[in-house]
Amino acid sequence: MRLTLFDLDHTLLSGDSDVLWCDFLMCKGVLDKEMFAARNADMEARYKIGTVGLQEFADFYVGTLAGRTAQQWEPLRQEFLAQWIVPRVSNAAIALVDKHLEAGDLVVMTTATNRFITELTAIYLNIEHLIATEPEQKDTGFTGRTIGQLNMRDGKVTRLKEWMKARGLRLKDCISTAYSDSINDLPLLHSVNQPVAVSPDAKLAAIAQASGWPVLHLH
């Protein structure tokens, strides 16, 4: 079986879903721009260089959902997809996903961003399988906390193996490829047969060059 793994942010998407979601909410007046913008930029910068704490990162962004139900968020989520996400997915990114789907690969999107924000993007790209950070929901709505293993750094490998085991599959039995831009995904890239760096950050670019990994630019 051929397994193909796609990171989302700065890989298939030109931008970061969490950061864009916050910018979108500030534009809509849901978040106070004066109070939130600097914190948002700081979190993005520390994530890019791999220094942010995992739970700190996840709680910061999942916290933007707190206090509303999925149903209450849905109109804004649909608007976010149409106006902020779709224009940032290049034709080259769509063509790459389609190539793997048409080849019969098992295609999975694996992202640190939470499921509620990213599942419509996966649907838009015709990617059936999504592994993402899971936001906690109760009858009253999102709590602002996460549940389970965060889908970040080593957690991406753990979550992938759990996901495959639940389907009677093993990573070592697959011909596997992974696409990512980020040093945060180095554990995932090391776990597959063919790692591919996509518009890589400086740290990942150096590793890709030293290791002879392919480098793509989709945007």
Active-site residue list:
7, 9
**Long-range contacts at 95-99 (CB < 8 A, ≥ 24 apart):** 96/12, 96/179, 96/216, 96/218, 97/6, 97/12, 97/125, 97/126, 97/127, 98/126
Alpha-carbon span 154 to 83, nearest angstrom: 32
What Rg, from alpha-carbon coordinates, does the chain have? 17
The DSSP-derived string for 30-64 is SS-HHHHHHHHHHHHHHHHTT-S-HHHHHHHHHGG
Alpha-carbon span 28 to 39, nearest angstrom: 18
